[in-house]
Chains A and B, each alone.
Chain A
Amino acid sequence: MKLTVNGETHEVDVEDDMPLLWVLRDELRITGTKYGCGIAQCGACTVHMDGIAVRSCQLAAGDVSGEITTIEGLGTPTALHAVQEAWIDLQVAQCGYCQAGQIMQAASFLDLNPDPTHAQIDAAMSGNLCRCGSYPRIRDAVKSASSKLKRA
């Protein structure tokens, strides 16, 4: 089947029910997207399908119906997305393992709701688990990214 990931089209030979996560990580070797729980409880595997955040551990390859963007496609160290800039300014990451998923979740959320309230941020980001406890900085970074995006 064909998958478009970060603007590039790939031909992959996988079962329809292989989760997108493992197509990305092991077939395409795009490893920024992380495996954490495999049951949509942690959000570490969050990517975008046509700009909307989805848990790639629950999205079967055969059900992919749009363009996939991973953390590598959102922005790069030399061309950062506003959400990544905010994450770096506020030094959110500790171990950092959940942060690709957090950032993808935040980017999609802010795209739909550019000026969220505190409660909306909490609700949107609570499906993403951080074992290190970087939540206060995640909250601040989402707010900061929201202002950045409004200015842009």
Chain B
Amino acid sequence: MGRLKTIARRSFLIGSAAIAGGVVFGTYLYKREGTNPLLADLRAGETAITPYVKIDAQGITLITPRADVGQGAWSMQAHLIAEELDIDPATATLSSGPASAIYYNGVVGVEAMPIAATSDTLLAQTGRGAADVMGKLMGLHITGGSTTVPDLYDRLRMAGAVARETLIRAAMQQTGLPRDQLKTENGFVVLPDGLKIEYLDLAVLAADIEPIQDVTLREPSQWRYLTKPQKRTDVIAKSTGTQTYGIDMVMDGMVHATTRTNPALGGGLAGFDAEDARKMRGVQAVLQITGGIAVVADNTWRAFQAAQAVTCDWGPSPYIGNTSDQFAAVAASFREDHQDSQFKDDGDVVAALEGAELVEAEYRIPYLAHAPLEPMSVVVKMTDARLDIWTGTQIPRFVQANMAKLTGMDADNIHVHVLMSGGSFGRRLEDDYIAQAVEIAMQLPDTPIKMVWQREEDFTHDFPRPLAIARAKGAVRDGAVDTFDLAIAAPSVAESSLARLGQPAIGPDVAIVAGAWDQPFDIPNYRVTGYRTPAMVPVSSWRSVGASGNGFMHESFMDEMCHAAGVDPLAERLRLCWHEPSRKVLEAVGEMSDWGSELGANRGRGLAFTLAFGVPVAEVIEVTNTEDGIRIDKVFVAAEVGRVLDPVNFEAQVQGGVIFGLGHAMNCELTYEDGVAQQDNFHVYEGMRLYQTPEITVRGLENGDKLRGIGEPGVPPAAPALANAIFAATGKRIRELPLSKSVDFV
């Protein structure tokens, strides 16, 4: 209990004095409690016992501050609170809550540090502590990096427990009964005679009670929801068309807008002619915004039509504009003065490679678009006093800060209402679309404006996953992988995206080598070097970030090395793997796939393993080389997350991650000509379709000592497992994505 109490004091006390003893200002500030942001807006009869639970006579509202982008974060957060509050989460209302520093993410910063998830050294622990301090000091109210569960597992259960205990205290005051005669049951305090007092009826009394901090969390054996198959809180709404996404907000007097900015990224607008557009039916205004134009109309389609009718004089893109030149720039950055990191350097790679028979390979991965199915969209309303923003976003506080800068308004007067997102995959870590709508609102105050991008605008104004090249050299000795030297060059996501958030990117960018430098293998001579390509078109985080491509590089080369050594890829990885939970994952996938058994003619099996976001994931893919091309038959996945809190959503997230990884590996790339993305809709960026979807068998393992998130880790091993399977089936080694450049798929 010691640790949990500490957490409680650090994060949940409300209205109590600061903890004494802080002598360093930063530490003091860190330890001082934040103000419960819900208290500012409470109406009569409402109480907010913690920043996560609000109760009034009408019902209970659970605050789920991590954005739901499809990964089920709202439902999981609600279940974590409900488990300890002792209510059925289906009976509660969920709210994203306001943008607030108190909803800081204490884990997300770790991914930016060169700390292997498998490391538990003092330095690693200190680094993780620093990420927590940084998250709190900066008030990083942010969703990403598969952190929702690891970050909030304790915090939300504590919030539920504190609220429950405070309600019991209220019942003690009301009944005069001692604590040990009261218990709770599904939203009620139960008296010894069986009489029940509903939580709602205790809300007013509880509001005057100092929240009870001394609580004990339930033992896992007592859990009603966690680790059991949960019913997602949004599943009915999402199956009946009643879920309100950002694009669905409807307000009285609302107008519809769309924007068109220079498709040659960063090229700006030299001038425009909107004479024809302004005459079109329903068009209310054609406005200039940064880099382009906006059309305001009485219907989205009319706005789309009019936007196309505006003649724009675009400037040229300042970036290296053609993909062949972009790859050339990456290839040119394997130079000492561009070296960004070398977090892994075991043994003596240089000596080992000298005179050895070299295995050499070069791998390439393309830019990729996020393309969530809900195009970027937002509703804004600006008055003299306040700016309201309704949208799906992962970064409400950055939105607040950036829009304060844009409008000159006080951040406190900017209200970000986070709605359900129709996907994101990292796209909603950016607020460019919101800024555009706010620019419209500044020219059209007092009117609710819904801005929706055309799909083509969405594709051509993405901040893609960066392209990359890896150069690998290796040597085998006595039938074993002995030397593994991987150099990866790519533009920096941290440098690009943090600048847009107004934050500095200090030191090496771990993402350039994530999923490669931190793999749990004891190869005698093992080196991973990152090279930073100078910034080109702006790039950003894409589901599983650096590991999304580095998994392909590392695991394709591992397969090549095993082949060169004449060893079985699974047996060799098991021999090299020093991390027990990772070994178990490899063993599990071997057993699940009946690894080593005969598959028959024209068939092949590929294995890949990536440890990303602290989650070791192994995938085996079976393919058939048919006359019409490659068919993906089966996928087996084993993933280690410490504890599977919801087996249903766990399986869905892993399957979704695999399909996301496979679909993009098969046929997706974003290429540029003169700074213009050439893929502008799904007909040229297809991903996977149902008829191509293999059977995907998933097993969650629980051998690790830490809880991990599963939104992203399923992605990285999918592409290399597929490429390795194609090699096994055809003898053809493909070193460039998308694979459709080299083979057909059925």
Which DSSP category, helix, strand, loop or mixed, fits chain A's interface? loop
Distance between Cα atoms of A34 and B438 in the complex (Å): 24
B569 CB, nearest partner CB in chain A, Å: 25
**A97-B245 in contact given A131-B373, A131-B425, A135-B688 (Cβ < 8 Å):** yes
Of the candidates B232, B240, B655, which one forms a contact with A72 in the assembled complex, judged by CB atoms under 8 Å apart?
Answer: B240
- Give A129 to B660 CA distance when docked, in angstroms: 12
Asked if A95 meets B423 with Cβ closer than 8 Å, knowing A19-B301, A131-B372, the reply is yes
Tell me, yes or no, whether A113 is within 8 Å of chain B by CB.
no
Partner pick for B652 among A14, A38, A137, CB 8 A cutoff: A137
Q: Judging by beta carbons under 8 Å apart, are A97 and B683 in contact?
A: no
The total of chain A residues at the interface (CB under 8 A) is 60
Option from A15, A35, A39, A137 in Cβ contact (under 8 Å) with B375? A35
- Please name all residues of chain A whose beta carbon is closer than 8 Å to the beta carbon of B372 when the two chains form the complex: 95, 97, 131
Interface assignment of A150: CB less than 8 Å from any CB of chain B: no
Asked if B693 contacts A135 (CB within 8 A), the reply is yes
A77 lies within 8 A of chain B by Cβ: yes
Complex-state Cα separation, A38 to B691, whole angstroms: 22
Bound-state CA distance A14–B425 (Å) is 36
Choose one: A22, A41, A91, A128; the contact of B648 (CB below 8 Å). A91
Q: Tell whether A25 is near chain B: CB-to-CB under 8 Å.
A: yes
Closest to A76 in B: B240
In contact, B240 and A75 (Cβ under 8 angstroms): yes
> Provided the pairs A41-B683, A128-B690 are in contact, do residues A103 and B454 lie with their beta carbons within 8 angstroms?
no
Contacts of B421 in A (CB 8 A): 95
What are the residues of chain B within 8 A of A22 when measuring CB–CB?
A: 299-301
Whether, in the assembled complex, B235 has its beta carbon less than 8 Å from a beta carbon of chain A, the answer is yes
User: What is the chain A residue whose CB lies nearest that of B424?
Assistant: A95
B residues in contact with A122, CB < 8 Å: 690-691
- Select A133's contact among B240, B686, B688, beta carbons within 8 Å: B688
Residues of B with C-beta under 8 A to A137: 652, 655
Give Cα A75 to B242, complex, Å.
11
Q: Is A18 an interface residue (CB 8 A)?
A: yes
Q: Given contacts A39-B683, A88-B239, A125-B690, are A95 and B696 in contact (CB under 8 A)?
A: no
Min C-beta distance of B698 to chain A, whole Å: 10
B452 within 8 A of A: yes
Residues in B neighbouring A94, C-beta threshold 8 A:
70-72, 652-653, 656
Interface residues of A in 28-64 (CB under 8 A from B): 29, 31-39, 41-42, 44
Asked if A136 is at the interface of the complex by the 8 Å CB criterion, the answer is: yes
CB proximity to A under 8 Å, residues B230-257: 231-232, 234-245, 247-248, 250, 256
CA distance A97 to B298 in the complex (A): 24
The answer to whether B663 touches A133, judged by C-beta atoms less than 8 angstroms apart, is yes
| Per-position 1/0 for B280-315, Cβ under 8 A of A | 010000000000000000111110100000000000
Specify which of A34, A84, A96 is in contact with B70 (CB 8 Å cutoff): A96
**Known interface pairs A15-B281, A29-B250. Does A95 touch B70 (Cβ–Cβ under 8 Å)?**
yes
Instruction: Quote the shortest CB–CB distance from B629 to chain A (angstroms).
Output: 16
The yes or no answer to A144 lying at the interface (CB within 8 A) is no
List A contacts of B304 (CB < 8 A): 38
A97–B231 CB distance below 8 A: no
**Closest-CB distance, A121 to chain B (whole angstroms):** 8
Is B43 interfacial (CB 8 A cutoff)?
no
Closest to A138 in B: B690
Docked complex Cα distance between A91 and B238 (Å): 10
Q: A35-B375, A38-B455, A99-B239 are in contact. Are A126 and B300 (CB under 8 A)?
A: no
A132, B70: Cβ atoms closer than 8 Å: yes
User: What separation, in Å, do the CA atoms of A143 and B298 have in the docked complex?
Assistant: 42
> In the complex, what's the smallest C-beta–C-beta distance from A94 to chain B, in angstroms?
4
Residue pair A70, B241 in contact (C-beta under 8 Å): yes
**In the complex, which of the residues A38, A103, A121, A131 contacts B423, with contact meaning CB atoms closer than 8 Å?**
A131
- How many Å from the CB of B450 to the closest CB on chain A? 9
Which among B241, B245, B656 has the highest number of chain A CB atoms within 10 Å? B241
In this assembly, does B511 line the interface, its C-beta being within 8 Å of a C-beta of chain A? no
Instruction: Determine whether the beta carbon of A87 is less than 8 Å from that of B693.
Output: no
Return chain A residues, CB-CB under 8 Å to B690: 121-122, 125-126, 128, 130, 135, 138-139
Q: Which of B58-72 contact A (CB under 8 A)?
A: 68-72
Asked if A26 contacts B683 (CB within 8 A), the reply is no
User: In the complex where A132-B423, A134-B656, A136-B693 touch, is A39 in contact with B235 (Cβ < 8 A)?
Assistant: no
Which chain B residues lie closer than 8 Å to A88 at the CB level?
235-236, 239
Instruction: Name the residue on A nearest B452 (C-beta).
Output: A35
Closest B residue, CB atoms, query A29: B250
A5 touches B (CB below 8 Å)? no
Contact of B687 among A19, A87, A129, A136 (CB under 8 A): A129
Residue of B nearest to A99 (CB): B238
Least Cβ distance of A133 to chain B in Å? 3
B373 with A93: CB separation less than 8 A: no
Interface status of A112 (Cβ within 8 A of chain B): no
- In the bound complex, do residue A129 and residue B691 qualify as a contact, i.e. CB atoms below 8 Å apart? no
Across the interface, which residues of B come within 8 angstroms of A111, CB to CB?
none
Interface contact A133-B657, CB-CB below 8 Å: yes
Smallest CB-CB separation from A101: which chain B residue? B373
Which residues of chain B are near A39, meaning CB under 8 Å? 455, 681-683
Assess whether A1 is interfacial by the CB under 8 Å rule.
no
List CB contacts (< 8 Å) of B519-572 with chain A.
none
Q: With A and B bound together, what is the CA distance between A15 and B297 in angstroms?
A: 14
* B interface residue numbers (CB < 8 A to A): 68-72, 231-232, 234-245, 247-248, 250, 256, 281, 298-302, 304, 371-375, 420-425, 452, 454-455, 648-649, 652-653, 655-660, 663, 681-683, 686-691, 693, 695-696
| 9 A-B interface contacts by CB (under 8 A) | A36-B455, A36-B682, A38-B454, A38-B681, A76-B240, A93-B234, A97-B245, A125-B690, A130-B690
3 A-B pairs closest in CB distance: A32-B241, A95-B70, A133-B659
Known: A35-B300, A77-B236. 7 other contacts (CB 8 A): A31-B248, A34-B247, A41-B686, A91-B232, A96-B243, A99-B238, A133-B659
